[in-house]
Structure 1
Amino acid sequence: MEKVVQKKNLLPQVLELIRHSLHTIQYGYLILTVQDGYVIKMERTEKFIFSSKNKTGYIKGDIPTGQHSFQAKIIAQLQGLMYGQLIIRIEDGKVAQIEKTEKRRINEYEGTHGDGI
């Protein structure tokens, strides 16, 4: 098994769920919500598209145990993200898009009369 480089606040359970989802979802989304630099929630939306293209079935029994090829890229995108979301779109079992939405907390600004924004 390959060694996974991880951020200190990325829990092993989170890594396991990301890896499992990347190996099993054929069509859908993974949405990772980050607060205070920690992944606090993962939403998994999976679609099943019935077509003659899928000849292997939809249930995977032999899920690979190693790291997914995009796992390191996803971890890299989570580095430094304090508040926001990482949305991973999966099509035909492959990562098609990674979208990062970063939110910033601004506490320092005040109006001209000290009344805030």
Structure 2
Amino acid sequence: MTEVFAASKKTAAAIRGRNESRVSQIRPVPLQVLDIIIHFLHTVKNGYLILTIQDGHVVKIEKTEKFIISAKTREAGCISYDKPQKKHPLQGKITAELQAIQYGQLVIRLDNGQVEQIEKTEKRRVHELEGIHGDGI
């Protein structure tokens, strides 16, 4: 019985070691994803950008933009957006948060053209938890 306990403890440690090394690697954010984030930060007045991450890679991007119609906006007409030339002040923070997530979501919320909130939801796989084989419980 102690041999099984020791083997399960070694297996759990090996799994943790693999996952820790995978998380500690800094992955560059793909240019396509970075372009979408930068464009969103510079052009959207009200809305959400939701980035879904699996295995450390962005697998889905959802963009919700709200348009508020008022007397002031009716007079302004349509607005066309050019590709932004400057770096957004929060671009580095958003990139760092995105690189730190292995599984989960990063939600960027804009209100009146300003980043109002960055919400990070991180999910952890069950095999990463200590005590899965009964040890340490």
What is the TM-score with the length of structure 1 in the denominator?
0.78
- Unpaired runs of 5+ in structure 1? 1-6, 113-117
Which residue of structure 2 lines up, in the alignment, with residue 95 of structure 1? 115
Q: Which stretches of structure 1, 4 residues or more, deviate above 6 A after TM superposition?
A: none
Q: CA RMSD in A?
A: 2.1
Query: Could you tell me whether the CA contact under 8 Å between 1:9 and 1:38 is conserved in 2?
Result: no
Which structure's residues are more often helix, by fraction?
2
Q: Once the 2 structures are TM-superposed, how far is the Cα of residue 106 of structure 1 from its aligned partner?
A: 1.3
Structure 2 segments unaligned to the other structure (5+ residues): 1-25
Amino acid of the structure 1 residue aligned with 2:104: G
How do 1:32-111 and structure 2 match up within 5 A? 32-52=51-71, 54=73, 59-107=79-127, 109-110=132-133
Q: CA deviation at 1:21?
A: 1.0
Measured after TM superposition, the shift of residue 28 of structure 1 is 0.5
Count of residue pairs brought into register by the alignment: 106
Task: Name whichever structure is richer in strand by fraction.
Answer: 1
Distance 1:16 1:96 in 2: 20
Task: Provide the rounded CA distance (Å) in 2 between the counterparts of 1:101 and 1:38.
Answer: 15
- Pair 85,57 (structure 1): closer, same or farther in 2 beyond 3 Å: farther
Shift of 1:57: 5.1
TM-score, scaled to structure 2 = 0.67
Of structures 1 and 2, the larger Rg is shown by: 2
